[in-house]
Amino acid sequence: MRRAKIAIGVAVVVTLTTVVVWQATGGDYYTKFQVVEEVESAADPDDPLAAAGFYDGDSSKQVVTRDEFRLGLLPTPEGVFDKHAVSVASISGPVWLVAIGFAWWVRRNEKHSKSK
């Protein structure tokens, strides 16, 4: 039973680690390798419309794309070996599957060895 508890403990540690990494990289729902954001930017001083006072101090919005990794809760793969397949669910899910299967196997073997 001790080995089963160790396996469950490892699964808990892996899950907590992936959740911490998920939060540290932005906490997005889906895994991203590029971030597209709208940022406010000041009017260009060389713009003749800004010089004529058309913007009146309003800032304009600009779309910016940056290369940045953000681990997501869920994967968004386009194929079997796609880089977007990495996510909290795809890392911790198989670990939990193995840990629960191992715990079941250990418990089953302990019951069979006690009955003999």
73 residue type, one letter: L
pLDDT in tens, 36-64: 888 887 766 677 776 676 766 666 778 88
Q: How many CB atoms lie within 10 A of CB 19?
A: 15
pLDDT averaged over the chain? 85
